[in-house]
């Protein structure tokens, strides 16, 4: 384990990386790593996970049919710029023999089986994007990380819909995302606690906002004797996803952990026991809901607590929450956390089905791997890398999850351009999920933090350089006038940009990540 005291050396690394020779070394390391396929099915641990994948950065391997009379296989990759071929005795090998020779762009793969009759038969075809690899350096941050973080937090703090909590006990629905109380109002509370900590002159106002918002969550929560005791709802009023039939009267099971984290932040800021007790109560309800195998249902009836489908939740938010409760001396949560870890490792990670679980996307009826997301893979990688006693298996699983996140969701550059000749989306960035192929600031934070955790655990400078590139771009996308960190990083024409969505929870993630980078960078 790399000692924490080495982390301020990031300043020296950044200076060193300005040297082209240093980046050439990192780029060569990246190119070599891109030849290693991401958790191929041939390892025997999981089925072929990339059925729905549209792009690859790491040399892919596919579930190619294996005719009984096949002697060998010919793999041919073609694009507008050329064609590359190789032969193999096995059908499930990766494209590593030619991968780094193929320039980024759309490509088509044709796999032919050589039969006993000495003829070739096409057994597999697939078109996809050979994506741009990491090739640093990228643009540096345009302001220091702490300044960017505080300006981002202040933007949220000064929003009229946030200051509305002063003198009101209900949310201002002019900000429509308040329809998600745990996620958005919870993040509002956390942002205000951060403001209270970092800007003492605003402490009184920030804590007044936080207390008022917390009071609303408490009033909306289920009573102490209910199956979902202390849980605030996932949905409030008839807005956005709340109005969809499959969400009526339902709640996403793990959303309450977001509210619990907010209550703990408010307890830390004020010392007021009510918030700590509320957070502990949420944790105990989770223990009651947990199944014997360690799993929890993804969605339940808000009144009865009964599951509404057969889908299991990805447990990384809950495991982080249990770990935080334990840090306050509540060791009662350790057994439930350990059971959850076992389920994640033996089921979710072994299957490599890091499915998206968002409150505004229906999860029922999805095929395995149909909606993969970095939002499951990267945070659980971070969780594994922060385990007090990380095993070699934990480390390898974390690396696999980070590689999946980069392969499928990171974009170091883009092929598509506007009619005016510049990229439609602003790289380097990270797309959220298969069902929402848009660069989102929270997704950049997920993957960047996982890389920072990998750097802390192993000293891998390439992981640090990749994290820096993503975080630096957050400062570039930030509005220099008012500090707003946009949720999505894409070009928008003037009229469309006026309706750009802005999620407070995503902004809080960016603020927290920028502050982490500031700390690693010596506090700038």
* One domain for residues 145 and 230: no
pLDDT along the chain (524 residues), means of 10: 44 56 95 98 92 98 91 96 96 97 97 90 97 97 97 98 97 95 98 98 98 98 98 87 72 96 98 98 98 96 93 96 98 98 96 84 80 97 96 98 98 89 92 95 98 98 98 98 96 82 96 97 67
User: Both 276 and 162 in a single domain?
Assistant: no
Residues 344 and 326 grouped into a single domain: yes
Q: Which residue, 302, 299, 413, is CA-closest to 364?
A: 299
C-alpha torsion sign, points 491, 495, 501, 506? positive
What is the pLDDT at residue 11?
52
Domain count of the fold of the chain: 3
Claim to verify: residue 252 and residue 333 sit in the same structural domain:
yes
14 in a domain, yes or no? no
210 and 257 housed in the same domain: yes
The answer to the question of residue 25 being in a domain is no
Is 159 within a domain? yes
Q: What is the pLDDT of residue 6?
A: 45
- Can you give the pLDDT at residue 295? 97
Task: Please indicate, yes or no, whether residues 160 and 285 belong to a single structural domain of this protein.
Answer: no
Helix/strand/coil (H, E, C) string of 479-505? CCCCCCCCCECECCCHHHHCCCCCCHH
Contact 359, 246 (CB under 8 A): no
What pLDDT, on the 0 to 100 scale, is given for residue 523? 59
pTM for the complete prediction? 0.94
Same domain (yes/no): 453, 519:
yes
Bridge partners (DSSP) of residue 107 are 128
> Is residue 318 assigned to a domain?
yes
Residue that finishes a domain, picked among 358, 380, 404? 358
Contact 29, 463 (CB under 8 A): no
Same domain, 186 and 162: no
- In CATH, what number is assigned to the domain containing residue 85? 2.60.40
Residue 414 lies in a domain: yes
Tokens 């351009």 belong to residue: 417
Residue 3: its pLDDT value, please? Answer: 40
Of 301, 328, 358, the residue at which a domain comes to its end is 358
Same domain for 343 and 208, yes or no, is yes
CATH number at 268 reads 1.50.10.20
**239-266 exposure pattern, b = at least 16 Cβ within 10 A, e = fewer:** ebbbeeeebeebbbbbbbbbbbbbbbbb
**Domain match, 74 and 159 both:** no
Alpha helices in 199-333, H assignment, sequence order: 203-220, 255-270, 273-289, 316-327
Site of tokens 């982080």: 320
Q: Are strands 70-79 and 105-115 parallel, antiparallel or unpaired?
A: antiparallel
Residue 401 and residue 381 in contact, taking contact as beta carbons nearer than 8 Å = yes
Q: Is residue 367 part of a domain?
A: no
User: Which residue bears the tokens 């900590």?
Assistant: 197
**Are residues 426 and 294 part of one domain?**
no
Q: Are residues 286 and 429 in the same domain?
A: no
Confirm whether 366 is domain-assigned. Answer: no
| Distances from the Cα of 310 to the Cα of 23, 65, 283, angstroms | 48, 31, 22
Q: With both helix axes pointing from N to C terminus, report the angle between 145-157 and 186-198 in degrees, rounded to the nearest 10.
A: 120
305: phi then psi, degrees, rounded to nearest 5: 75, 5
Domain of 454? 140-169+372-524
Predicted pLDDT at 243: 65
pLDDT of residue 524: 55
CA-CA distance, 162 to 142, in Å (whole number)?
A: 28
Domain termination site, one of 332, 358, 384 = 358
């Amino acid at each position: 384990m790399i000692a924490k005291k080495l982390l301020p050396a990031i300043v020296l690394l950044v200076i060193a990386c300005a040297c082209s020779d240093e980046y050439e070394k990192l780029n060569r390391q990246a190119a070599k790593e891109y030849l290693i396929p991401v958790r191929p099915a041939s390892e025997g641990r999981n089925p072929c996970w990339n059925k729905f994948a549209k792009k690859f950065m790491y040399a892919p391997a596919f579930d190619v049919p294996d005719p009984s009379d096949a002697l060998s296989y010919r793999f041919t990759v073609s694009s507008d710029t050329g064609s590359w071929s190789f032969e193999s005795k096995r059908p499930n090998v990766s494209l590593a023999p030619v991968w780094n020779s193929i320039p980024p762009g759309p490509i088509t793969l044709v796999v032919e089986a050589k039969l006993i009759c000495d003829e070739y038969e096409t057994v597999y075809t697939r078109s996809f994007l050979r994506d741009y690899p990491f090739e640093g350096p990228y643009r540096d941050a345009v302001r220091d990380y702490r300044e960017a973080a505080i300006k981002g937090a202040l933007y949220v703090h000064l929003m009229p819909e946030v200051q509305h909590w002063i003198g009101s006990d209900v949310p201002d629905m002019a900000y429509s995302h308040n329809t998600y109380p745990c996620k958005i109002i919870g993040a509002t509370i956390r942002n205000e606690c951060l403001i209270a900590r970092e800007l003492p002159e605003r402490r009184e106002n920030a804590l007044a906002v936080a207390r008022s918002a917390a009071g609303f969550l408490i009033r909306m929560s289920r009573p102490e004797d209910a199956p979902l005791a202390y849980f605030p709802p996932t949905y409030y009023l008839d807005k956005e996803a709340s109005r969809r039939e499959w969400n009526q009267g339902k709640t996403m099971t793990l959303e309450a952990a977001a509210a619990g984290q907010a209550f703990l932040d408010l307890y830390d800021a004020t010392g007021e026991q009510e918030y700590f007790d509320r957070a502990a109560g949420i944790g105990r309800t989770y223990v009651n809901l947990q199944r014997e195998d360690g799993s929890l249902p993804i969605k339940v009836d808000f009144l009865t607590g009964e599951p509404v489908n057969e889908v299991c939740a990805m447990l990384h938010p809950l495991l982080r929450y249990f770990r935080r409760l334990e840090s306050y001396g509540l060791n009662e949560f350790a057994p439930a956390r350990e059971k959850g870890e076992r389920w994640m490792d033996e089921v979710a990670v072994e299957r490599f089905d890091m499915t998206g679980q968002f409150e505004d996307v229906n999860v029922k009826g999805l095929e395995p791997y149909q909606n993969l997301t970095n939002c499951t893979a990267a945070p659980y990688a971070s969780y594994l890398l922060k385990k007090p006693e990380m095993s070699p298996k934990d480390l390898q699983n974390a690396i696999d999850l980070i590689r999946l996140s980069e392969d499928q969701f990171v974009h170091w550059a883009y092929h598509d351009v506007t009619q005016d000749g510049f990229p439609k989306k602003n790289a380097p960035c990270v797309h959220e999920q298969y069902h929402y192929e848009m660069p989102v600031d929270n997704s950049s934070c997920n993957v960047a933090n996982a890389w920072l955790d990998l750097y802390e655990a192993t000293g891998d400078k390439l992981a640090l350089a990749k994290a820096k590139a993503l975080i630096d771009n957050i400062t570039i996308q930030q509005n220099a006038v008012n500090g707003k960190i946009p949720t999505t990083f894409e070009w928008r024409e003037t009229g469309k940009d006026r309706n750009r969505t802005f999620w407070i929870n995503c902004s809080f993630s960016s603020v927290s990540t920028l502050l982490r980078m500031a700390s690693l960078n010596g506090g700038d």
